[in-house]
Structure 1
Amino acid sequence: MNEPVVAEIPIGSPPAWAIMQRRLFDVMDEGWWLFRERYCLPDGSLRYAGPVQSRDGADDFYEAFVNWPVLYQLGGADDLIDVSKWHWEGVTRQLTDLGFLVDEFERGYDWFHLGESMIFFYSLCAADPTDEVFRERAYRFAELYLPGSPAANYDPVTRTIRAPHNGAGGPRWGINDEWRTFGANQERMRIFGLPLSGVPGISSWDDLKDPANADLMGAEMIRRLGAGDTAVNLAATTLTANAWLYDHSDRFAAWTLEYLDAWEERAKANGGLLPDNVGPNGIVGELHDGRWYGGKYGWNWPHGVYSVGSAACVAALNGVVLTGDSKRLDFARQLLDHLYERGISGAVDETDMSIRDRWEAELGDDCANPTLLIPNRHSDDGWFDYQPPQLGLPMWLWQASFESSDRDRLSKLRERSGYDWRTVRDFRNKEDAGHEAPWLAYLAGDNPGYPEAMLGVALSQVQRRMDLMAVDTVDPADMNIHHWQRHNPVATEALLQLTTGTPQLLYNGGLLPLRVLYLDADRGRPGLPPDVAALVDTVEPDRTGLQLVNLSATQTRRVIVQAGSFGTDRIDEATVSTATGEYPGPSPAYTSTPPTPGSRTVVVDGNRLEVTMPPGRTIRLDLRLTRNTYRAAHLALA
């Protein structure tokens, strides 16, 4: 690593975004302490005495802490990493006792939910790659899906995962016991409609009021949704990609790419659109009378692109992590383009859709205005369930490639939107995401107030969670298992965007390859040092621009700027801001003459640049990059 560059410019009046950002770190570190006191037992598990379903629910326990390691990696409290591991292990013991886990891994469930629970684990691996216990777990979990594993999840002949529900117990045929008869009393599922097409005598929800029809639907769900492969299983590739990041084992890479290749070929044979099901003999539509749609968490039910599109993007991104080849994104690109081409203009308020509350929060009053709506699902009657596009999916394709075509896709979505992308609304959804539009507008140069506005939203939402905890009187025996995640006071979307130039991760099983990672040189850990704030304002294929501010009046901080959390990019050179002059000037003067700004270019030729931040100083760095120079890896500080 080169000689450190030194920040020279006095900050003068500290920028509001820097003060707000450091405040956000502080209140979240207060918040997670309150959360664990309110909801956790001394062994790290959650206070809970309520019922659990036969298969569903393990993800909700892990989701209570899902972004805590990310906060540590960005600069949260020193002890947060150990606390996060303690909770993971406590919850793992708790779920083992409840019968959900075998040898610390899910006994067998779908990867829509498994992906949600595993992002906590992946974040722990990324935040502390030197932890040998978690490394061993990463290997052991990934082995469950390799050819020849005793778990027998994978069939190398058909290149399929044998069942929609899978895990440490191997293929877990069938469905949840609660759905063995699927009647109209499943009221919470009514908004999603019928689980299957083509069941004789059942064409509407009211037909499920007949007990015989309810039994028939349950039997068909067991037969058609309880066997074979399904597209959401693509999220299992993150298990092997995460293990590969430790030591680049060819075995983990080979399986990841083999399984991804199999689904890419099926998409190509289906006109470029990813099907959602493969039967036991490796044939698309085998259990669904030839339909390419209808699989578990597939195009027909319950979420469509929300599950299939997410799994496709997660797997495609894993392919890029392993190979550096952006062509690995093509089948995810084609999937999204297929939907965008079929988009219509309509108002959210006037359109039937399954997940309305999400858009009411994200779009506010603009729900009354016509905007782009894309089909989310497909049945025998064609595409339906039109909703606004989820921007996180195309956003991550651009992040993975930084190719003009992926940026153009986002620009076209903005042109077709009926709302102002610069508007920052005060909400927080389940994925701790949803503010991609105003952030993209900021990166495009036409939303300059975004950093302060977004940090204000984050502070507001953290305070709301803390207030919810303060008035929470629910007895653990009466809790809904989603209760904890609704009170989790850690919100990382703003910090990810503003400090690292990275969107929130894909919630159903994605890795988090940060555009920029900071390392605290004095404390030997990841994250911004105390008092230091960072703002990434330029994200281009070969360039990252950022500002660092040391708000301390007395302490010098040393921060290492790394190009990517997986270390793939090389910083060729950095243009750094400089200052000359007589600051602070003579003491009898009423003020000092502002220093003269300048810049100089430093050759780096590596993926790290150390910056010394004297008290009350700021620096701007313009990093010129060569992307994908090095293999992605879980990198330690040393």
Structure 2
Amino acid sequence: MPSRPESGTGWPVLTASVPLGAPPTWAVLERRLFDVLDEAWRAFRDRYTEPDGRLRFTGTAASRDGADDFYETFFNWPTLYLLGGHDDLLPATKLHWEGVTRQLSGLGYLVDEFERGYDWFHQGESMLLFYGICAADPADERFRERAERFARLYLPDSPSGNYDPITNTIRAPHNGAGGPRYGVNEEWASYPASLSNMRPYGLPLDDLPGIGTWSDLEDPGNAAAMGAAMNRRLGHGDTAINLAATGLATNAWLYGHDERYRDWALRYVDGWRERAAKLGGVLPDNVGPHGEVGELHDGHWYGGTYGWAWPHGIYSVGTAAVVAAVNTVLLTGATDRLDLGREALDLVLDKGIDGTVTATEMTNKPRWLASLGEGADRPTLLVPNRHGSAGWFDYQPPQLGLSAWLWQISGQECDARRLADIHRRSGYDWRTVREFRDKEEAGHEAPWLAYLRGDNPTFPEQMLRQALAQVGRRMALIEVDDADPAGVHFHHWQWHNPVVTEALLQLATGTPQVLYNGGLLPTRLAYFDADRRRPGLPPDVAALVDGAAAVDDAAAVDGAAPVGGGEPERIGVRLVNLSPTRTRRVVVQAGSMGGDTIDAVSLDVTADGRYPGDMREYAAGPLSGWRQRVAVNGPRVEVVLPPARQVRLELECRRRTGLPRYATPWT
């Protein structure tokens, strides 16, 4: 039954009264996943790290590439803690960040604990671990000081010189604590055909005289000419992937709302939006030293570092644009700057064709073969990922994570419509959950979206089984791994990291996996253990978001009224206490960063005294109950879960009613 707010909390306290009965399979699997992950991260730590947190590595460092891979090893460990991972996971994660930071400093990659200078496609990957720690423990002043120090590297008055306030550009594609780091990797001073790992991506520049195919790079003179041109053209000026640097500023702003960080991020984003507007909505990938698009590329809007032409196209440009767009919503509470990400995605969607993955040449085919399975043989929507001097090419299925995050952050019809359009044009079954994992630990957006749409009721059990299978496979890989630390590839540890969080984010919080190249993680719901006053679900408690307002938005494509424009949105969540003896108390918060409001909550309650019934009866009798609505008018409610009880809440929420920030309910 609902009760009065506890003294000093200021939020309603609700008590679950519905008996659990037979525990739902999803809840048992979810708690099992927490237990398995707790064993797994410890086994990984014991096998691959030193007592001070660094990775066991004695090999030779590359000139610029590699620092991100060390940090990526632990990228989702803070997320697991935020969801309810073991208490000692957070200090262990901090130990690894600090140990790896000392290790990379010794290898020459870092200056004052931050990347000396590299591209933001890779820096974004390395920052996920840091951002996660900041969100998990905002009271840690050491990490707050680091967050602000790192963000200041890009402010107009920074002695680093990364940012040019006159042209509103970041001066070089490679940048960091050492300032603009002109040029590209030293290993690419000559770019020969023997670079077999880069061959699938084709020529970095496709307009050099006498170099029209990869085989032309077999000539040493051509290889040297390509390396020189890359240093001159790809090693100077601004590039669209630098938009991910706005994550540094947003992360620092979330601590104390220092306007310097917000103002810089918004001005930098607006500079790219203005350039896109001049091109009719096409986001360019390069700006020269004097602030002109195409200055280093014969006037072309394509051709920049990690841009439209090479090596990834929309995968890199689109991700940076969506990361920055999401950041602007956090910084302002408004969605007007989401056009930065929307237009980039719509540009390629409008040029989509039908084709099969198996019969189409594409740079990332192994990923699609794994994620689509038999669906790879069926005609489906393919969009061009890249654009060069010959036009659009490299057709692949759309990356759903980008569109899912626009929908996640806005809750608006246009973003739901984009997903609905992709679904309608897809030739594979969105309901199928396949067992695979890439380094981003993402790619299961389709079956999750189908579940929220009410079209995939077994998804929770399937997804959790898939997650458990991935942990088991990683543990088996660790068991047979006999590699010499002196000779391992930098990705070796990522290939063995057994922590998985995609399933828990989707099911418990109603949120897609984080955007891997530098995204922050504002979840739809967040949980806090009220007894231990820490983030995450309490022990024995499982959570399942089984409905969201954006589902109604998606239905708007078929004529239903959209939710948005300040109207309340509804989020359905089930909470289950599997313990037969212990009461658990969980705080449910709208938005992990506290910027949303719960207007009211509805829940089912049962009549007191009807359960467990007469001990002489073979079964408990029928229960009577009713639906009750409780006013909240705040960001959170507390739910008391007596032993073996459950509750389904329907939260009436409004997004972006206040400024988000890093905080706990008690600070």
TM superposition score category, shorter chain reference: over 0.9
Aligned partner of 1:460 in structure 2 is 469
Letter in 2 for 1:242: N
Aligned partner of 2:365 in structure 1 is 356
2:593 is the alignment partner of 1:566 = yes
Letter in 2 for 1:44: G
Query: For 2:281, which of 272, 291, 295 is the aligned residue?
Result: 272
Aligned partner of 1:131 in structure 2 is 140
Cα distance between partner residues in 2 of 1:59 and 1:585? 59
2:615 is the alignment partner of 1:587 = yes
Aligned partner of 1:548 in structure 2 is 575
Aligned partner of 1:596 in structure 2 is 624
Question: Equivalences for 1:134-533 in 2 at 5 Å?
Answer: 134-533=143-542
2:642 is the alignment partner of 1:633 = no
CA drift at 1:287: 0.5
Secondary structure of 1:412's match? Answer: helix
Cα distance between partner residues in 1 of 2:610 and 2:599? 32
Q: Percentage identity across aligned positions?
A: 62
Letter in 1 for 2:590: A
Aligned partner of 1:607 in structure 2 is 635
CA drift at 1:626: 1.5
CA drift at 1:597: 3.5
Aligned partner of 2:127 in structure 1 is 118
Cα distance between partner residues in 2 of 1:505 and 1:226? 29
Secondary structure of 2:124's match? Answer: helix
CA drift at 1:594: 2.9
Secondary structure of 2:629's match? Answer: strand
Cα distance between partner residues in 2 of 1:212 and 1:92? 39
1:484-509 deviation line (CA, Å, top 9, x unaligned): 01111100000000000000010000
CA drift at 1:197: 2.1
8 Å CA contact 1:526, 1:637 repeated in 2: no
Cα distance between partner residues in 2 of 1:497 and 1:636? 22
8 Å CA contact 1:575, 1:599 repeated in 2: yes
8 Å CA contact 1:129, 1:135 repeated in 2: yes
8 Å CA contact 1:398, 1:407 repeated in 2: yes
Cα distance between partner residues in 1 of 2:482 and 2:665? 43
Aligned partner of 1:83 in structure 2 is 92
CA drift at 1:637: 3.3
Taking only aligned residues, the RMSD between alpha carbons, in angstroms, comes to 0.7
8 Å CA contact 1:8, 1:578 repeated in 2: yes
Unaligned runs of 5+ in 1: none
Letter in 1 for 2:430: W
2:598 is the alignment partner of 1:575 = no
8 Å CA contact 1:525, 1:637 repeated in 2: no
8 Å CA contact 2:171, 2:236 repeated in 1: yes
Alignment size in residue pairs: 638
Secondary structure of 2:358's match? Answer: helix
Structure 1: which 4+ aligned runs deviate by more than 3 Å?
A: none
Cα distance between partner residues in 2 of 1:369 and 1:636? 48
The farther-off stretch of 108-117 and 324-333 is: 324-333
8 Å CA contact 2:12, 2:632 repeated in 1: no
8 Å CA contact 2:18, 2:606 repeated in 1: yes
Cα distance between partner residues in 2 of 1:282 and 1:632? 33
CA drift at 1:480: 0.9
Cα distance between partner residues in 1 of 2:624 and 2:665? 35
CA drift at 1:46: 0.1
Cα distance between partner residues in 2 of 1:320 and 1:296? 26
Cα distance between partner residues in 2 of 1:636 and 1:239? 21
Aligned partner of 2:565 in structure 1 is none
CA drift at 1:306: 0.6
Aligned partner of 2:555 in structure 1 is none
8 Å CA contact 2:40, 2:498 repeated in 1: yes
Cα distance between partner residues in 1 of 2:656 and 2:461? 32
CA drift at 1:475: 1.0
8 Å CA contact 2:78, 2:136 repeated in 1: yes
8 Å CA contact 2:333, 2:658 repeated in 1: no
Aligned partner of 2:545 in structure 1 is 536
Letter in 1 for 2:613: G
Query: For 1:97, which of 72, 92, 106 is the aligned residue?
Result: 106
CA drift at 1:2: 3.0
8 Å CA contact 1:116, 1:507 repeated in 2: yes
1:118-143 deviation line (CA, Å, top 9, x unaligned): 01100000011110000000000000
